[in-house]
């Protein structure tokens, strides 16, 4: 055999051995010399024994390779399916309970994957809140039999958890509604979520009453987000008033504008009595849709005491912040008495009687001790209220007690004592 034939022979053996070793593992190979000008496959068939046996062997090996490839593809598909299921389970799992300080930095977002449909997301939120409700029921049973510091600690931890979850729920629902209005079924699910939130906070309040025996006026309302469905409502209407004084504690750092701390609407007039700070405008009081600008500066994240007095005679008004007279004026809806049979709402501005809320005008922050009198308070009475003097009067038209207020849409209720809780 000449030198060129040997080169071709060695090369064919080397190529065949390398390719076959990769596919078939341990296999015995036979190398055969091939003439220089002859086709490699033809020569192999002629010089390797019975052609039919060799052909059968090659076909079997080829079939084995194809089966192995198919098996590998099926295994890859199975792995992808398992990975996808695991990812979905992880995204739906709840985070571990955090300490009394609230949600931990970097904690998982319990809202799940943002790319989910509105219906799936809201269903998950409802399920999560139902779990919290069950935990709260367990807490109630524990507290009845263990009136201890541990019970208080457990209640506080759960309240922090609910508050954190509530903010995420309302934020997600609000975002979904703004970006992609859902069908009627989504609205119904959102309403169920809101109802669960309201129920949770009512249960927390009942639990606090039974354990702490605290006064029913020592509480505050918190409105953490601008929404068109988070509010509180007085259970009774205001009477006809020819003068009034309205005072409250308020805390907010919202910008621009803290929103609407309260609004009172009557049939035919949605702006019968409204306190609002909207956009970059100063805080205003509206009476029968007439406006007076108030010299209040409150969006510094600190508690402030506000009082406004008004008389129908000449429409004279005065504005007090933290017990100090800051401004006054006249001709604010003169000789127009405040009408009865209306609806008093906290946290929202009414465009219709008891509704028509606009999220851009919603109050963001905390408020407490809203009291209303059908007379003009004296400077000394207002100062006593701002300094938490024991002689401070309670509203004779509307007084700040839990039995006078209903909460909707997830506004939260916390223990609050003015002056002690300041700043």
DSSP 58-124: HHHHHHHHHHHHHHHHHHHHHHHHHHHHHHHHHHHSPPPP--TT-SPTT---TT--TTS-HHHHHHH
Is the pTM here over 0.75, yes or no? no
Instruction: Give the highest mean pLDDT range of 84-88, 130-134, 239-243, 386-390.
Output: 239-243
CA–CA distance, 322 with 297 (Å, rounded to integer) = 11
Mean pLDDT of 258-282: 95
Residue 254 binned pLDDT confidence (cut-offs 50, 70, 90): confident
CA–CA distance, 355 with 372 (Å, rounded to integer) = 22
Residue 217 binned pLDDT confidence (cut-offs 50, 70, 90): confident
Question: CA nearest 117: which of 186, 187, 196, 193?
Answer: 186
**248 and 306 Cβ atoms separated by less than 8 Å:** yes
Question: Which two structure tokens, joined as six digits, stand for 147?
Answer: 């009136």
CA torsion 333-337-341-347 (nearest 10°) is 40
Residue 188, CA distances (Å) to 14, 273, 408 in order = 73, 32, 15
The pLDDT value given to residue 371: 97
The pLDDT value given to residue 104: 31
**143 and 114 Cβ atoms separated by less than 8 Å:** no
Distance of CA 186 to the CA centre of its chain: 16
User: Minimum mean pLDDT among 195-199, 248-252, 397-401, 402-406: which range?
Assistant: 195-199
CA–CA distance, 377 with 356 (Å, rounded to integer) = 32
DSSP 326-345: EEEE--SSTT-PBPSS-EEE
CA–CA distance, 267 with 289 (Å, rounded to integer) = 13
CA–CA distance, 207 with 202 (Å, rounded to integer) = 9
Question: Which two structure tokens, joined as six digits, stand for 171?
Answer: 């934020």
pLDDT digits (tens, 9 = 90+) for 340-374: 999 999 999 999 999 999 999 999 999 999 999 99
Strand-strand pairing, 231-234 and 243-251: unpaired
The pLDDT value given to residue 101: 36
Question: Which two structure tokens, joined as six digits, stand for 389?
Answer: 């003097």
> Does residue 16 surpass a pLDDT of 70?
no
| Residue appearing with tokens 């006078």 | 404
Residue 111 binned pLDDT confidence (cut-offs 50, 70, 90): very low
Tell me what percent of the residues of the chain surpass a pLDDT of 70: 49
Q: What is the CA radius of gyration of the chain?
A: 37
Mean pLDDT of 231-247: 96
* Surface-to-core class of residue 306, CB atoms within 10 Å of its CB (0-12 exposed, 13-18 middle, 19+ buried): buried
Mean pLDDT of 188-212: 62
Mean pLDDT of 276-285: 93
User: Minimum mean pLDDT among 93-102, 185-194, 238-247, 277-286: which range?
Assistant: 93-102
Residue 105, CA distances (Å) to 13, 100, 114 in order = 64, 13, 19
Question: Which two structure tokens, joined as six digits, stand for 112?
Answer: 């799940």
The pLDDT value given to residue 383: 95
Residue 194, CA distances (Å) to 231, 249, 259, 323, 364 in order = 11, 26, 21, 37, 18
The pLDDT value given to residue 382: 96
The pLDDT value given to residue 168: 64
> Does residue 84 surpass a pLDDT of 50?
yes
Phi, psi of 68 (to 5 degrees): -65, -40
For the beta carbon of residue 392, count every other beta carbon within 10 angstroms: 18
Mean pLDDT of 212-224: 80
> Does residue 391 surpass a pLDDT of 80?
yes
**In whole numbers, what is the pLDDT of the chain averaged over residues?**
74
| CATH for 230-415, options being 2.60.260.20, 2.60.120.200, 1.10.10.10, 3.40.630.30 | 2.60.120.200
Q: Which residue has the higher pLDDT, 22 or 401?
A: 401
Q: Which residue has the higher pLDDT, 69 or 316?
A: 316
> Does residue 205 surpass a pLDDT of 70?
no
User: Minimum mean pLDDT among 24-38, 244-258, 259-273, 311-325: which range?
Assistant: 24-38
pLDDT digits (tens, 9 = 90+) for 150-160: 555 556 666 66
The pLDDT value given to residue 279: 85
User: Minimum mean pLDDT among 64-73, 119-128, 195-204, 277-286: which range?
Assistant: 119-128
């Amino acid at each position: 055999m000449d030198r060129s034939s040997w080169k071709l022979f060695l090369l064919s053996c080397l190529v065949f051995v390398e390719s076959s070793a990769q596919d078939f593992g341990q296999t015995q190979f036979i190398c055969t010399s091939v003439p220089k000008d002859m086709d490699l496959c033809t020569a192999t068939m002629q010089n390797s024994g019975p052609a039919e046996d060799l052909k059968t062997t090659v076909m079997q090996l080829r079939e084995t390779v194809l089966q192995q490839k198919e098996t590998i593809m099926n295994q890859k598909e199975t792995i992808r399916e398992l990975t996808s299921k695991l990812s979905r389970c992880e995204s739906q799992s709840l985070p571990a309970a955090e300490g009394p300080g609230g949600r931990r930095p970097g904690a998982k977002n319990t809202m799940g994957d943002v790319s989910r449909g509105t219906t799936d997301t809201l269903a998950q939120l409802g399920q999560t809140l139902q779990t919290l409700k069950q935990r709260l029921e367990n807490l109630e049973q524990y507290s009845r039999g263990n009136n201890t510091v541990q019970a208080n600690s457990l209640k506080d931890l759960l309240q922090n958890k609910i508050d954190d979850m509530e903010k995420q729920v309302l934020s997600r629902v609000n975002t979904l509604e703004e970006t992609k209005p859902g069908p009627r079924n989504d609205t119904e699910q959102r309403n169920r979520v809101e109802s669960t939130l309201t129920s949770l906070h009512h249960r927390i309040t009942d639990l606090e009453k039974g354990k702490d025996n605290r006064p029913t006026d020592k509480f505050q309302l918190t409105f953490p987000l601008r929404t068109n469905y988070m509010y509180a409502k007085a259970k009774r209407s205001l009477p006809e008033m020819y003068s009034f004084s309205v005072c409250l504690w308020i805390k907010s750092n919202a910008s621009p504008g803290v929103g609407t701390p309260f609004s009172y609407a009557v049939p035919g007039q949605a702006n019968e009595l409204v306190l609002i700070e909207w956009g970059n405008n100063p805080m205003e009081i509206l009476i029968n849709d007439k406006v007076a600008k108030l010299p209040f500066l409150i969006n510094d994240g600190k508690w402030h005491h506000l009082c406004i007095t008004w008389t129908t005679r000449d429409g004279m008004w005065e504005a007090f912040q933290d017990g100090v007279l800051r401004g006054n004026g006249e001709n604010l809806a003169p000789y127009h008495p405040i009408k009865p049979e209306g609806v008093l709402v906290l946290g929202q501005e009414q465009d219709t009687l008891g509704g028509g809320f606009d999220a851009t005008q919603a109050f963001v922050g905390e408020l407490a001790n809203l009291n209303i009198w059908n007379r003009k308070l004296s400077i000394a009475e207002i100062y006593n209220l701002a300094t938490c003097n024991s002689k401070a009067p309670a509203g004779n038209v509307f007084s700040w007690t839990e039995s006078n207020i209903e909460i909707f849409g997830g506004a939260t209720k916390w223990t609050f004592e003015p002056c002690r809780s300041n700043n």
